[in-house]
A and B are shown apart, each in its own frame.
Chain A
């Protein structure tokens, strides 16, 4: 079993839809939870960073962490065609900078 599981998609939605992206994990020691966006043939770009449980909002993006269920989510409101990319979840533990990534979910937002 992988430490981090993420549905690879693709996920195809119309412009303006609310998108929900999710990851599950098995290691209860994870304390840091991140979402990165990666456009084709580019490096990952940090979208959200959350420590421990709770919600965090930044513009159209909301990140949620449920440590009891070992489940994290990223919501994108009013999705735009420019949001079309691969979304990677990443997690880390205390006292290590090593990040464990999911495989990424490919999102396509069509006009």
Chain B
């Protein structure tokens, strides 16, 4: 049973550039959440996708956008990169919450983004 996979593993970009990160959810999961984890900090929620639509969003600027495909895989796009965007970007998959009950989220290994 394949878990959550992410690509690429590492990425180096310069300020002002754009980046696209990719995620394939765990088999059977149709909901994908993205988190940003700065060094020495806990993950911070960016947004969640379900049925190809953004369902929830955290406190991140519009430079952060995403997409979910019919096969449930997802992309995270970040435009106009800043030095402060350097972090580990984590994807988590789950089943959608039902009757208000949150399902367990399983994380991928992450993509480490360095902005120079």
Contact = CB atoms under 8 A, between A and B. Distances in A.
A46 B45 contact: no
A42 B110 CA distance: 7
Contacts of A94: 100-102
A98 B56 contact: yes
Contacts of B56: 96-98
Given A46-B105, A101-B44, A103-B40, 19 more contacts: A6-B42, A8-B40, A42-B109, A42-B110, A43-B90, A43-B108, A43-B110, A44-B107, A46-B104, A46-B106, A88-B42, A94-B102, A97-B97, A98-B48, A98-B56, A99-B35, A99-B105, A101-B42, A103-B41
Instruction: List the 8 shortest-distance A-B pairs measured between CB atoms, nearest first.
Output: A101-B42, A43-B107, A94-B100, A95-B100, A43-B109, A98-B45, A44-B107, A92-B102
A101 B43 contact: yes
Interface string B13-43: 0000000000000000001010100001111
Contacts of A8: 40
A44 to B, nearest CB: 5
Interface string B80-116: 0000000000100010110011111111111010000
B106 A96 contact: no
Nearest to A89: B42
Interface of B: 4, 6, 31, 33, 35, 40-45, 48, 55-56, 58, 90, 94, 96-97, 100-110, 112
Give the contact-size bracket for chain A: 20 to 34
A32 B107 contact: no
Nearest to B106: A46
B42 A97 contact: no
A97 B110 contact: no
Interface in A4-38: 4, 6, 8, 32, 34, 36
